[in-house]
Amino acid sequence: MRVAQIAPLFEAVPPKLYGGTERVVSALTEELVAMGHDVTLFASGDSVTAATLDAIRPRALRLDPEIKDWVSCVNRQVELVRRRAHEFDVMHFHIDYFPNSVMTRQSTPFLTTIHGRLDLPEFNDVYGLFPEVSMVSISDHQRTPLPDLNWVRTVLHGMPEQKLRPVPGVAQEYFAFLGRISPEKGIESAIRIATACGVKLKVAAKVDVADKVYYESAVAPLLARVAANVEFIGEINDAQEPAFLSGAKALLFPINWPEPFGLVKI
Amino acid sequence: MRVAQIAPLFEAVPPKLYGGTERVVSALTEELVAMGHDVTLFASGDSVTAATLDAIRPRALRLDPEIKDWVSCVNRQVELVRRRAHEFDVMHFHIDYFPNSVMTRQSTPFLTTIHGRLDLPEFNDVYGLFPEVSMVSISDHQRTPLPDLNWVRTVLHGMPEQKLRPVPGVAQEYFAFLGRISPEKGIESAIRIATACGVKLKVAAKVDVADKVYYESAVAPLLARVAANVEFIGEINDAQEPAFLSGAKALLFPINWPEPFGLVKI
């Protein structure tokens, strides 16, 4: 089958460092190629894939300081994909509500996997306009706010089984926090838990532009107070994860939002 | 003629306080109604118009704390307008690149007035996909970064001639700054100019969510140092403007960006 995979432009596919959605899109794309399908991946130009890459932008948006208006890039991506729609048997979108108006008015079948939260009130308004669009959830719970959409399947994550293997002989000396600094992900709770337990906390996480204010106002002062007990090591890549997690007594994941899936857990 | 006017959802049409684009859309809409056209205005529900109002949201987005994802609201607006496109002879959009993919694939004629800057590199990419779309600029200079689009006319602003009249007998005692606190609008320069001249500065301006970090980090400390010389009075409405401007020795407008037009000047 001629399959189009349309990835978000925020991170490369797969991401160099942090990034859930683009990791899942990468695993899915590579497996479809391995199964013998003719796959085209619409993604940022720094993506690495065995599929045919249609590079919408030279670089992933999060690491591209030139780009101020990310929405214009996604609008352009939808238009470029639409112009090639007749070349595919099926198109699989991973970019939320953006394709709906355009793609429901052409004839190639398409579906959308939703990778994020759905509990904002405006999402009912925008997704509710398209009850016919085939939707895939990444957990059954994710559907809760919008149960009446045309959900066709839950597909959990598609990550390779052997991706993370314990590193033998590593002493387990700290609590680990892995992911993203934001109110939803519970970094403040993690710091308090580790401090209360008297266990050192290592934080391997990114700070998004959108979360900089939160980091400066809420997290940095807390970190300053417990500096001896917390080590902030920044973002890590896939190769660094096994040692980071193997050295931990426990992974702290004290989320504070309706996490749609949470790759950190697997 | 059956005319659709499609306004941004950020402010009511006309805006309660600050707001350039929605003010211009309001003046245009009311004049078209006065000329006898059958006009439908797609805008936020707190808009006030003699046209038929199709309320896309109950309230303007900037003053609606419920809304976190404004992009979803604009995507929904485009879809709702598209579903009524056959009811109009012409559609006039004021929402940047959003309508292009959908509207170029239907038959009702439409045009777009661009109210903002065009000098970001990504705009060339997204507008350049649609060289056939009829575009209106609000100044000739605004076109400079994208001269090859299908520019059909420059229409300066359409504000009523008698909107601002001097208030007689008011002493002219200060410099005035009117508009928005942001790096582009030059508030720091205005403060320095007034301080150097030994003249009091009155600032009537909004601080957008997007500019809060700038305000806190750059403007607030500067204001604290010159507190005796600067009065920050916040946003003002149309009725307050004549007295505010009549009491000024001069209006300071030390912009630091390619201002597309600048209603403050008129």
Q: What is the pLDDT of residues B182-220, one digit of tens each?
A: 888 888 888 989 988 989 999 988 887 778 888 888 888
What phi and psi values does residue A212 have, to the nearest 5 degrees? -65, -40
The pLDDT, as a whole number, for residue B81 is 98
**What totals of helices (H) and strands (E) does chain B contain, helices first?**
8, 11
pLDDT in single tens digits along all 266 residues of chain A: 999 999 999 999 999 887 789 999 999 999 999 999 999 999 999 999 999 999 999 999 987 888 889 999 999 999 999 999 999 999 999 999 999 999 999 999 999 999 988 989 899 999 999 999 999 999 999 999 999 999 999 998 777 777 778 888 888 889 998 888 888 888 888 898 998 898 999 998 888 777 888 888 888 888 888 878 888 888 888 888 888 888 888 888 888 777 777 666 66
d(CA A86, CA A90): 10
d(CA A111, CA A123): 17
The closest of B154, B133, B156 to B144, measured between CA atoms, is: B154
Q: Which residue in A72, A129, A213 is closest to B122 by CB distance?
A: A72
The pLDDT, as a whole number, for residue B143 is 94
Q: Looking at chain B, which residue has its C-alpha nearest residue A216? A: B213
- Residue A63: strand, helix, or coil: helix
Neighbours of A251 (CB within 10 A): 15
d(CA B72, CA B57): 11
Instruction: Give the angle B108-B111-B114 at the CA atoms, nearest 5°.
Output: 155
The closest of B236, B82, B261 to B164, measured between CA atoms, is: B236
Q: Which residue in B76, B129, B212 is closest to A129 by CB distance?
A: B76
Residue burial B112-138, b: 16+ Cβ < 10 Å; e: rest: bbbbbebebebbbbbbebbeebbbbbb
Chain B residues with CB within 8 Å of chain A CB? 66-69, 71-73, 75-76, 78-80, 82, 96-98, 100-102, 105, 120-123, 125-126, 129, 212-213
The pLDDT, as a whole number, for residue A149 is 96
The closest of B114, B113, B100, B149 to A75, measured between CA atoms, is: B100
The nearest CA of chain A is from the CA of B75 a distance in Å of 7
Neighbours of A89 (CB within 10 A): 12
The owner of tokens 């780009």 is A67
d(CA A228, CA A225): 8
The pLDDT, as a whole number, for residue A75 is 97
Contact between A3 and A89 under an 8 Å Cβ cutoff? The reply is yes
Query: What token pair was written down for B97?
Result: 């690149």
Q: Which residue in A75, A78, A123 is closest to B72 by CB distance?
A: A123
Q: Which residue ranges of chain B lie beneath pLDDT 50?
A: none
The pLDDT, as a whole number, for residue A1 is 96
d(CA A97, CA A149): 12
Residue burial B240-263, b: 16+ Cβ < 10 Å; e: rest: ebeebbbebeeebbeeeeebbbeb
End-to-end CA distance of chain B: 31
d(CA B236, CA A244): 55
B78 contacts in chain A (CB < 8 Å)? 101
Query: What token pair was written down for A49?
Result: 């894939």
The pLDDT, as a whole number, for residue B82 is 98
The pLDDT, as a whole number, for residue A265 is 63
The owner of tokens 């090591």 is A233
DSSP at A160: -
Contact between A97 and B78 under an 8 Å Cβ cutoff? The reply is no
d(CA B262, CA B186): 13
- Residue B141: strand, helix, or coil: helix
> Is the CA virtual torsion A150, A152, A156, A159 positive or negative?
negative
d(CA B170, CA B189): 26
Q: Which residue in A79, A97, A122 is closest to B129 by CB distance?
A: A79
B103 contacts in chain A (CB < 8 Å)? none
A72 contacts in chain B (CB < 8 Å)? 96-97, 120, 122-123, 125-126
Contact between A223 and A150 under an 8 Å Cβ cutoff? The reply is no
What phi and psi values does residue A53 have, to the nearest 5 degrees? -95, 125
Query: What token pair was written down for A174?
Result: 């700290």
The owner of tokens 């700290």 is A174
The closest of A175, A162, A197, A163 to A244, measured between CA atoms, is: A175
Please report the number of interchain residue pairs, chain A to chain B, with beta-carbon separation below 8 angstroms.
79
The pLDDT, as a whole number, for residue A262 is 66
Contact between A177 and A252 under an 8 Å Cβ cutoff? The reply is yes
Q: What global pTM score does this model have?
A: 0.85
d(CA A51, CA A7): 13
H or E stretch at A23 = helix A21-34
B45 contacts in chain A (CB < 8 Å)? none
The pLDDT, as a whole number, for residue B156 is 84
Which residue(s) pair with B248 in the sheet?
B174
The pLDDT, as a whole number, for residue B264 is 64
Query: What token pair was written down for B164?
Result: 């601002």
The nearest CA of chain B is from the CA of A84 a distance in Å of 13
Cβ <8 Å between A67 and B122: yes
Contact between A118 and A146 under an 8 Å Cβ cutoff? The reply is yes
Q: Which residue in B76, B96, B212 is closest to A125 by CB distance?
A: B76
